[in-house]
């Protein structure tokens, strides 16, 4: 299933995409895609519905983040060896983990706002992993059983805030609008292998990033298991798994986003995002 949330900011409603690519409303069956509603029993109940029996949503409403009330947005840094090389970093021996503030989360096509004082705002297309059942001390073999589905995440980064102002990466990762999520949550049963998905990103129609989850240093199962040894992963938590090469920081000369730029990005089978850059 392709599950989504649509409507004005703060008043999103749950829906799904039917076979013809149209939005069908799910409000009679659940209040939101958040927490326990992402568990196996809830998703199984939705999978038994006939989309043709659900109300059709007319027009082209705004799409919100595909998961509501996210508890944790956990990000992995330098998880592609070729991306580590372009930034001048060494390949990590174990996952680099940081948190992005959940207040950064926005819809997949909402404007991307440059924070005041920004000089180096960069792009990063990533595979997002949505947790469906609690995971604590889980093995790598069992890790994917705790995944509800997958989505596109844009891990926007202000490099000067991140790298030049001391402290943790969080300050360069958590600005408002720096976490577009969606357009859909694609349930895990539709993704045969999360380690075989193509990723791409364009700025103003020019391809900047092209990659595949095949080249991840630490795969999804490894990351879910690893993180579960450190913290309990709860339903609705999202793991953003790192970006392939082609970020602005790695260009010669380094190139960053400017007001008016349009960024399009996608992950195979998970849909496409499109953001216009504005000045905050």
Confidence check: pLDDT of 89 > 80: no
Question: In terms of DSSP bridges, do strands 2-6 and 185-187 run parallel, antiparallel, or are they unpaired?
Answer: antiparallel
Query: How far is residue 230's CA from residue 226's CA, in Å, rounded to a whole number?
Result: 7
Cis check for the bond before 67: say yes or no (omega within 30 of 0).
Answer: no
pLDDT at 112: 98
In sequence order, the 6+-apart residues with CB closer than 8 A to the CB of 36 are: 42, 235
Q: How far from chain centre, in Å, is Cα 152?
A: 4
- The topology (CATH level 3) of 73-279 is Fumarylacetoacetate hydrolase; domain 2 (3.90.850)
Query: How far is residue 81's CA from residue 89's CA, in Å, rounded to a whole number?
Result: 9
Domain ranges of the chain: 2-53, 73-279
Q: Report the pLDDT averaged over residues 184-200.
A: 97
* pLDDT tens track for 120-179: 999 999 999 999 999 999 999 999 999 999 999 999 999 999 988 887 789 999 999 999
pLDDT over 70 percentage in the chain: 100
* pLDDT tens track for 37-70: 999 999 999 999 999 999 999 999 999 999 999 9
Apex CA 34: angle with CA 144 and CA 239, to 5°?
40
Query: Residues 23, 272, 181, 218: is their CA dihedral positive or negative?
Result: positive
Tokens of 41: 């029993």
Confidence check: pLDDT of 85 > 80: no
pLDDT at 19: 94
pLDDT at 274: 98
* pLDDT tens track for 237-254: 999 999 999 999 999 999
């Amino acid at each position: 299933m392709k599950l989504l949330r649509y409507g004005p900011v703060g008043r999103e409603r749950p829906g799904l995409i039917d076979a013809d690519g149209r939005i069908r409303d799910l409000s009679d069956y659940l209040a939101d895609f958040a927490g326990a509603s992402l568990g196996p029993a809830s998703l199984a109940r939705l999978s038994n519905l006939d989309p043709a029996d659900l109300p059709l949503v007319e027009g082209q409403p705004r799409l919100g983040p595909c998961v509501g009330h996210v508890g944790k947005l956990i990000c992995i840094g330098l998880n592609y060896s070729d991306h580590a090389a372009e930034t001048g970093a060494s390949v990590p021996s174990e996952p680099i983990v940081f948190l992005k503030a959940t207040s950064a989360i926005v819809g997949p096509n909402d404007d991307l706002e440059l924070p005041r004082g920004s000089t180096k705002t960069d792009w990063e297309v990533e595979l997002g992993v949505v947790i469906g059942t609690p995971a604590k001390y889980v093995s790598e073999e069992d890790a994917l059983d705790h995944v509800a589905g997958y989505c596109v995440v844009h891990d926007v980064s202000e490099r000067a805030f991140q790298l030049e102002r001391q402290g943790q990466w969080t300050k360069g990762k958590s600005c408002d609008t720096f976490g577009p999520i969606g357009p859909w949550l694609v349930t895990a049963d539709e993704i045969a292998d999360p380690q075989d998905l193509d990723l791409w990103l364009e700025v103003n129609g020019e391809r900047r990033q092209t990659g595949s989850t095949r080249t991840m240093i630490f795969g999804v199962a490894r990351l879910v298991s690893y993180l579960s040894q450190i913290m309990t992963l709860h339903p609705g938590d999202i793991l953003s798994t790192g970006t392939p090469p082609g970020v602005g920081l790695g260009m010669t000369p380094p190139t960053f986003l400017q007001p008016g730029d349009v960024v399009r990005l996608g992950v195979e089978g998970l849909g496409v995002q499109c953001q216009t850059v504005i000045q905050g």
